[in-house]
Amino acid sequence: MPAPIRVGLSTASCYPLGTSAAFRIAAELGYDGVEVMVWNEAASQDPEFLRDLVERWGVPVLSVHAPTLLLTQRVMGNEPWGKVDRSVALARDVGASTVVLHPPFRWQKEYATGFVEGVAQREREHPQIRLAVENMFPWRARGREVQAYLPHWDLRRNHYSHTTLDLSHTATSGSDALALADELGDRLTHIHLADGLGSYKDEHLVPGRGNQPCAELLQHLSRTGFSGDVVVEVGTRRLSDEDRLIDLAEALAFARLHLAIGAGEASAP
């Protein structure tokens, strides 16, 4: 019988609280681990500090999110591949098996030109680390769509050995999350669990509060022997500490319930 799918908490889900608080919350609520979003907080970049948090709270680092967001362009330096390489080294140093990264922006033309092969090369050099490229979405301005990412925001346009499926991003892009998961097949190795209503703002709602097939996807993962991790990545920055805990507990319960339903269906005669 396959091992249960782990459910992790992204430190981004606790923003504006810091990395230390995210580990504490993950432990208190019973998450299986943490995804570290690397940003300008020194703790998110310090392997020794992160290992101390793992030991203190008893929750491992499942994955590292490289600083490839628009707001983290100067974190870990300005050179794109240098940022990826430092994220891989951080993941290795803290025992994580996955590095999540976004495709390049259009203005990063040299980085974008060699992106697909560059990802593959680093996976060959570090076979214990999966570089899971995340699905994104077109930007919208004044009623027009802007293709902000190269080679493309749609994972199906390029071949990556490992990918991350974000359900807030499928809402924003208008993509069919279940069809995308089915088409990616065993290249789908990481999930960012969230929800959305299709707003251009990339909402990152608690699963079950939008229109994405979050429940169906989780059940599908359990039925089909998914071997990656599910990481809750929802927005709580406007909430009180109490309401943040309530939302993160609800997201964890949602994930556990529907993963269990899928596992039960898989084991039924």
Let me know: does 104 contact 69? Beta carbons within 8 Å.
no
In 82-161, beta strands by DSSP E: 98-101, 130-134, 139-141, 144-146
Residue-by-residue pLDDT tens, the chain, 269 positions: 678 999 999 999 999 999 999 999 999 999 999 999 999 999 999 999 999 999 999 999 999 999 998 889 889 999 999 999 999 999 999 999 999 999 999 999 999 999 999 999 999 999 999 999 999 998 876 667 778 899 998 998 889 999 999 999 999 999 999 999 999 999 999 999 999 999 888 999 999 999 999 999 999 999 999 999 999 999 999 999 999 999 999 999 999 999 999 999 878 76
Let me know: does 88 contact 126? Beta carbons within 8 Å.
yes
> Which tokens belong to 17?
């609280």
Side-chain half-sphere CA neighbours of 174 within 13 A:
5
- Average pLDDT of the chain, as a whole number: 95
Closest CA to 60 of 28, 93, 35, 42: 35
Return the pLDDT at 141: 67
Let me know: does 183 contact 176? Beta carbons within 8 Å.
no
Measured between alpha carbons, how far is 178 from 158 in angstroms, rounded to an integer?
A: 19
Measured between alpha carbons, how far is 53 from 39 in angstroms, rounded to an integer?
A: 17
Return the pLDDT at 140: 78
Residues composing the chain = 269
Return the pLDDT at 91: 98
Angle separating helix axes 115-125 and 80-94, nearest 10 degrees: 30
Return the pLDDT at 18: 97
